[in-house]
């Protein structure tokens, strides 16, 4: 991947811009701005049925998962060189057993998943995005494609479990926008993120947590922060391994003049990358927290697109 300059200690975009408002492809993508087919849950564009999962060829389509629906057991073929986006709306939806084969090709400033729950509890589990994003998904500001972007209007709760995200040109999970909006929470559990740019796990709202997860940076191209905590917080990080190999910051707290608190519990972080505290932020080390991280892919987290689509091993 192409070498990219390191980001500054704070986001260069104003609080009222990148982290708030319907600006991340206007909740993935404005339908008026694209001449692509819109799909609801269960529709699949050009798809080939398999015994245990469905193959969907990326053809610049948008799939919408609505309240109470489950979208599962799909292998997304990105080798077409085209795009696909998945948008969740309403509440109590489920996205699971989804594997992306090949690099994601959305343009800079876009996202593969746009997620939001308007007051209930929703679930994302067993998703593979480990093939990364195309080198073209970069911009002069250093921002590119995000894997998961949480809409600022997110007001409920989303559980993310066993998700594998690697090589994205922007945040792996951009979950901080609800901190300036609906105030919804996100729990990232047993997930793996590696070699992404800007940050790997980015959260903002009190009640949001990262548990039993790992971050790895061992590529000099996408040297994003390990965990980026935005206000208002507090963000809890428990039983996590944050192996940065000296790149950027393991924990970065606060941005754009707003501070937050982080509770780092029973976790290991890269001492050389260290902890950055901005704008009155505080990172509290609790329990058996130390500086000897060994990142790993948590049990049950898929390591290929087909494994994800099949629902596990």
What mean pLDDT value characterizes the chain? 84
183 vs 181: CA distance, rounded Å = 6
Question: Residues 97-111: what's their mean pLDDT?
Answer: 85
Mean pLDDT of 189-213: 97
pLDDT of residue 155: 98
pLDDT digits (tens, 9 = 90+) for 270-313: 999 999 999 999 999 999 999 999 999 999 999 999 999 999 75
- Quick: pLDDT tens for 230-248: 999 999 999 999 999 999 9
**pLDDT of 18 over the 60 cut:** no
Which position has the higher pLDDT, 105 or 184? 184
Q: Is the pLDDT reported for residue 45 higher than 80?
A: no
What CATH number corresponds to the domain at position 243? 2.160.20
Q: Is the pLDDT of residue 43 over 60?
A: no
Q: Is residue 141 part of a domain?
A: yes
pLDDT band, very low/low/confident/very high, at 136 (cuts 50, 70, 90): low
Count structural domains, the chain. 1
More confident residue, 136 or 194: 194
pLDDT given for residue 2 in this prediction = 31
Q: Is 95 inside a domain boundary?
A: yes
Summarised one tens digit per residue, pLDDT across range 161-192 is 999 999 998 999 999 999 999 999 999 999 99
In this structure, is residue 91 part of a structural domain?
Answer: yes
pLDDT of residue 144: 79
Question: Is 244 inside a domain boundary?
Answer: yes
Q: Nearest 10 degrees: CA dihedral of 298, 28, 121, 231?
A: 80
Structural domain boundaries, residue 218: 54-310
Establish if 28 belongs to a structural domain.
no
Confidence of residue 62 (pLDDT cuts 50, 70, 90): very high
By percentage, how much of the chain surpasses pLDDT 90? Answer: 73
Indicate the pLDDT class of residue 108, thresholds 50, 70 and 90. Answer: low
Distance CA 64, CA 40 (A): 5
Lowest-confidence pick of 81-95, 112-126, 127-141, 181-195: 127-141
Tell me if 45 is assigned to some domain: no
Mean pLDDT of 61-69: 97
Q: What is the pTM of this model?
A: 0.85
Instruction: Establish if 16 belongs to a structural domain.
Output: no
12 is a domain residue? no
């Amino acid at each position: 991947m192409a070498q990219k300059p390191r980001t500054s200690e704070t986001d260069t975009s104003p609080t009222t811009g990148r982290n708030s408002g319907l600006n991340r492809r206007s909740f993935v993508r404005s339908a008026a701005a694209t001449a692509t087919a819109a799909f609801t849950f269960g529709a699949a564009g050009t798809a080939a049925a398999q015994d245990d999962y469905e193959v969907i060829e990326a053809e610049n389509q948008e799939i919408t998962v609505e309240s109470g629906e489950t979208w599962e057991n799909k292998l997304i073929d990105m080798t077409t060189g085209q795009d696909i986006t998945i948008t969740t709306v309403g509440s109590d939806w489920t996205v699971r057993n989804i594997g992306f084969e090949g690099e994601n090709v959305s343009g800079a400033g876009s996202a593969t998943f746009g997620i939001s729950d308007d007051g209930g509890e929703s679930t994302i589990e067993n998703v593979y995005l480990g093939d990364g994003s195309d080198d073209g998904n970069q911009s002069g500001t250093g921002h590119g494609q995000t894997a998961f972007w949480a809409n600022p209007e997110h007001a409920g709760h989303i559980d993310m479990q066993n998700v594998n995200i690697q090589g994205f040109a922007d945040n792996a999970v951009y979950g901080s926008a609800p901190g300036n909006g609906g105030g919804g929470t996100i729990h990232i559990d047993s997930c793996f993120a590696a070699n992404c740019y800007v940050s790997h796990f980015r959260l903002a709202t009190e009640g949001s947590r990262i548990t039993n997860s790992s971050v790895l940076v061992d590529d000099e191209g996408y040297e994003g922060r390990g965990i980026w905590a935005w206000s208002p917080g507090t963000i809890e990080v428990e039983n996590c391994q944050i192996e940065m190999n000296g790149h950027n910051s393991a924990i970065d707290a606060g941005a754009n003049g707003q501070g937050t608190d982080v509770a780092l519990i029973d976790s290991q972080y890269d001492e050389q990358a260290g902890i950055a505290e901005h704008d009155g932020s505080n990172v509290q080390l609790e329990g058996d927290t130390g500086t000897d991280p060994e990142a790993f892919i948590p049990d049950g987290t898929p390591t290929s697109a087909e494994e994800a689509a099949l629902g596990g091993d």
